């Protein structure tokens, strides 16, 4: 019987010893030395900062502060903003926080000197991107100066437009004037202007040709290109379907007479795009008549109001007269 009672007592002793060991292990892990050992094993900023959060004046505080400053000093500039955020949010000990700021400031100063030595747009942009705001100094001004120097060196429209894309609007300086001067030099020669307009193939480029050469050898072609491209834009966008015009009389000539009445409250612009292209603007409440060669046309209509959508359709003119009355109706759904 005595042996039967010894077994439960032995088990109880083992359990109590196990609990004691476990409790000691937990207490040791969360103690000053335990947290310090964990920080050493992790060897990271967050690990050391965690120690300082729990034991700002612990027996290992001095070593941890040195470790924090060493890690910051050896960090990449890419991490500097996150490091500063961690320091300001998680380190409450004033003298340590100030020491960390000093290390960050030294890194920022070194980065500034490197960017100053290189003095390139890329170098300053890297500095601005990664250095905390408080340490930027005059980096933005230096970056603008470097970009301006690059644009002056190339002195091309592309170079000045690149400069404008890099800097803010308030730093454009005389970039637009520089572009205007270069364009004027390039576009004053008519053959060169037509080559540039044709290569670009946009409404803006053809209008630029017409600005410099309103009566040039290619002015008629440029005006037609502008109208055709405007019609392309209306057809490509959201538009209503333009109904066919009414035939007012028949004829057998090679041209047709078109009469348009503007019954809207806005200036109405009618576009005809075909072998011949024409653009006519008609004030509100008025009519306009004009002649077009017979043929197939893409026709578009728009008014001087952003709230009224454009219309587009197709028309075949075969001689005689055609009429159309344009007005605006409102539909509610």
313: CATH: 2.60.40.1120
In a domain, 12, yes or no: no
**What's 272's DSSP letter?**
E
In a domain, 46, yes or no: yes
How many folded domains does the chain comprise? 2
**What's 316's DSSP letter?**
E
In a domain, 316, yes or no: yes
Place of tokens 């019609």: 231
In a domain, 301, yes or no: yes
Task: Quote the domain boundaries for residue 281.
Answer: 242-326
Q: How far is CA 78 from the centre of its chain?
A: 22
Strand order in the sheet with 239-241: 239-241, 310-317, 295-303, 268-273, 278-282
pLDDT surpasses 60 at 17? no
Last residue of a domain, one of 118, 152, 185: 118
Last residue of a domain, one of 118, 139, 166: 118
Supply the pLDDT for residue 15: 56
3-class SS of residue 299:
strand
Interval 95-103 mean pLDDT: 96
Spatial separation of the C-alpha atoms in residues 74 and 53, rounded to whole Å: 22
In a domain, 90, yes or no: yes
In a domain, 140, yes or no: no
With a threshold of 0.95, does the pTM exceed it? no
In a domain, 180, yes or no: no
Supply the pLDDT for residue 327: 87
Give alpha helix (H) positions in 55-93: 61-73, 80-90
Please report which confidence band the pLDDT of residue 11 belongs to, taking 50, 70 and 90 as the band edges: low
Last residue of a domain, one of 93, 118, 143: 118
Supply the pLDDT for residue 263: 94
**Total residue length of the chain:** 333
In a domain, 136, yes or no: no
CA dihedral angle for residue 16, residue 18, residue 20, residue 22, rounded to 10 degrees: -150
Spatial separation of the C-alpha atoms in residues 250 and 186, rounded to whole Å: 50
């Amino acid at each position: 019987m005595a042996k039967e009672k010894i077994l439960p007592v032995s088990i109880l002793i083992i359990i109590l010893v196990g609990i004691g060991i476990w409790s000691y292990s937990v207490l040791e892990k969360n103690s000053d030395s335990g947290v310090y050992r964990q920080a050493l094993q992790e060897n990271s900023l967050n690990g050391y900062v965690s120690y300082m959060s729990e034991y700002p004046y612990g027996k290992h505080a001095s070593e941890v502060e040195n470790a924090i400053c060493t890690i910051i000093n050896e960090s990449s500039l890419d991490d500097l903003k996150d490091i500063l955020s961690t320091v300001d949010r998680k380190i409450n000990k004033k003298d340590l926080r100030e020491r960390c700021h000093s290390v960050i400031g030294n890194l920022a100063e070194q980065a500034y000197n490197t960017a100053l030595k290189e003095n390139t747009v890329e170098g300053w942009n890297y500095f601005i991107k990664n250095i905390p705001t408080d340490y930027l100094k005059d980096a933005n001004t230096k970056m603008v100066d470097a970009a301006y120097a690059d644009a002056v060196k190339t002195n091309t429209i592309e170079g000045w437009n690149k400069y404008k894309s890099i800097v803010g609007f308030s730093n454009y300086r005389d970039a637009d004037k520089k572009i205007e001067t270069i364009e004027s030099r390039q576009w004053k020669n008519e053959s060169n202007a037509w080559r540039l307009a044709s290569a670009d193939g946009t409404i803006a480029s053809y209008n630029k040709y017409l600005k410099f050469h309103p009566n040039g050898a290619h002015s008629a072609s440029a005006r037609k290109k502008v109208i055709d491209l405007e019609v392309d834009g209306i057809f490509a966008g959201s538009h209503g379907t333009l109904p066919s015009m009414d035939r007012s009389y028949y004829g057998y000539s090679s041209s047709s007479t078109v009469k348009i009445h503007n019954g809207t409250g806005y200036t109405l612009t009618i576009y005809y795009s075909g072998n011949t292209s024409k653009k006519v603007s008609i004030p509100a409440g008025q009519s306009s008549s004009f002649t077009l060669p017979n043929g197939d046309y893409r026709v578009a209509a728009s008014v001087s109001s952003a709230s009224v959508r454009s219309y587009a359709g197709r028309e075949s003119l075969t001689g005689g007269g055609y009429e159309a009355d344009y007005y605006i109706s409102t539909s509610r759904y």
